[in-house]
Amino acid sequence: MTDDRRTASGIPVKGHYGPDDVPLSAREALAAGPGRTPFLRGAYEGMYRTKPWRIFQLSGFGNPADERERLLFLLRQGEGGIIMEHDRNTADHLYNVDHPEVVARREDVGLTGAVIIGVRDYETILEGIPIQDIYTHPGGAVVQHAPFALACFWTVAERRGIDLHRLAGTGQSDFFLTYVGCITKQQIPPRAGLRLNGDITEFCLDHLPRWVPVSIAGYNGADSGLSAPDELATVFATAVEYLDALAERGRHEPQELSHKVGGVNFRVGMDFFEDIAKLRAARKMWAELLERRYGIRDEKARQLRIHVVTAGSALTYQQPFNNIARGTIMALASVLGGVQSLGVACYDEALSIPSEHAHQMSVRIQQILQHETGIDAVADPLGGSYYLEALTSELEARAWESFDEIEQQGGFIEALDSGWLHRRAARRQSEQWDEVESNSRLIVGVNCHEIDETPFEIDGFQGTTDAWDQAMARLADVRSSRDGAAARRALHELERVCRSEENIMVPMMQAVDADVTLGEIGDVFRDVWGDWEPPIRP
């Protein structure tokens, strides 16, 4: 090893740190304590003592009944909420199962999440799940999919007689997944996506006070290659786009909106201290950004709440059980950084969709941390460490530089549309992989300590094989049994509102209630907004 040691994002690291390495601004932020601006030490005063972090895993596959079974399994294991995964083949692109693109890959359907045609499938999945009592992410990670997913979930609640005011949960509508990390076949342009996210946010302000309408997921930028400072910068550059666009509509002041936008997602990877520092820096940056840019001084309005997903890209195909150790280390960093909820990527992630056992392990890792280690007793237990404070301050400084670069590009959407962000992510991704190939970064099982793995092989989860056939049958059933005239009226109304400045969530709720299907909504969106032309087509 050379003396030149750096963090994953390239910050030089010394052999030891002392009091002189902690800047004055960090000392002031430290003194404020947890639950007080600038929230360096935590979003809440009591942190895990008063509110343990929520165990919150992604899950879903196959038919709606398969997804329900897995969700119930996870709730029985001790999950604190549910995240409903949708079939990528249909949901991401807003295609019905009879779309030619889907038919060409029909065996893939249902592999990555349940196939959800419409509200009836939501009712099947949620049967027996007490949605009024748990925290739910009902899907809609991809921007154009979110209004449909949220409307389906909320409609199920209404049909059960649950007041929307009671529902707690989160949307996603994530620009990083949609336009950076997982570019879809067809997608509405980012400006149209911004409008949809604005509509969801305003709808939640009116009807769902306990709901996080959109959740900016830095994870998907970071797992595509963005460094820790870039992840921080891009998350807040996105937040600023949301706030500015909403403020321009004139219905709400930034102060009313900032709390709604302040439920975000970060990726925690294997650079233990850098990622702890990142979560701490994030809270401080958000509090300062809101005051500086919008003059918001209210404490609660500046409180950033963080969900972390541990890095799937850090998990190896080789020797997959090693990923249980990696998941534990990343979960520990997340908890020490201060999270409100956490999902641990499953140990078989590089091979397949999670098996039941891999899912259970991700829950157990978190329960072991919660019950056996005592780390939940003290908020920000590493706060005041010379090294961590120096690193937090340095990351913050670099993230502001990156934020300014994005502003110079014309803001987040411009940086996205021009491909600037993609190029930046791709370049670092190549550099990171080059480090592995040249053995300057070691990954156990990949470029060191390799073994013959046959005795420890796992199969990977195989899921169900009838999801496409079943979904075709359900689609035919919906088409023949629904009130066709009502569905057509609802679609026309949706299209009219898409072309107006009214909130699309109102006709979207009516449309899903009239059994309008996913693909029909996609057709309306494509007619109205056309397709985004991605700057890269990998």
Binding residues (CB under 8 A) for other proteins: these are 88-89, 92-93, 100-102, 104-105, 107-108, 111-112, 181-185, 223-225, 313, 316-318, 350-352, 426, 429-430, 433, 437, 443, 445-447, 457-460, 536-538
Peptide bond into 38 cis (omega under 30): yes
Which residue, 224 or 393, has its beta carbon nearer to other proteins?
224
User: What long-range pairs does 438-447 form, CB within 8 A, spacing at least 24?
Assistant: 443/316, 444/316, 444/319, 444/322, 445/316, 445/318, 445/319, 445/322, 446/316, 446/318
Which residue, 204 or 314, has its beta carbon nearer to other proteins?
314
Least separation in angstroms between CB 384 and other proteins: 37
Q: Looking at this protein, which amino acid is placed at residue 67?
A: E
- Report CA Rg, the chain: 23
Q: Which tokens is 420 given? A: 């600037």
- Does residue 507 contact residue 514 with C-beta atoms inside 8 Å? no
CA distance 39 to 286: 9
Which residue, 316 or 503, has its beta carbon nearer to other proteins?
316
* HSE value, Cβ hemisphere, 13 Å, CA-based, for 373: 17
Least separation in angstroms between CB 41 and other proteins: 35
Least separation in angstroms between CB 107 and other proteins: 4
CA distance 313 to 367: 23
Least separation in angstroms between CB 536 and other proteins: 7
Q: Which tokens is 482 given? A: 């629904």
Least separation in angstroms between CB 441 and other proteins: 13
Q: Which tokens is 371 given? A: 């019950």
Indicate the SS3 state at residue 242: helix
Which residue, 334 or 355, has its beta carbon nearer to other proteins?
355
- Does residue 354 contact residue 362 with C-beta atoms inside 8 Å? yes
Which residue, 373 or 465, has its beta carbon nearer to other proteins?
465
Least separation in angstroms between CB 79 and other proteins: 24
Which residue, 155 or 178, has its beta carbon nearer to other proteins?
178
* HSE value, Cβ hemisphere, 13 Å, CA-based, for 287: 23
Which residue, 321 or 433, has its beta carbon nearer to other proteins?
433
Least separation in angstroms between CB 90 and other proteins: 8
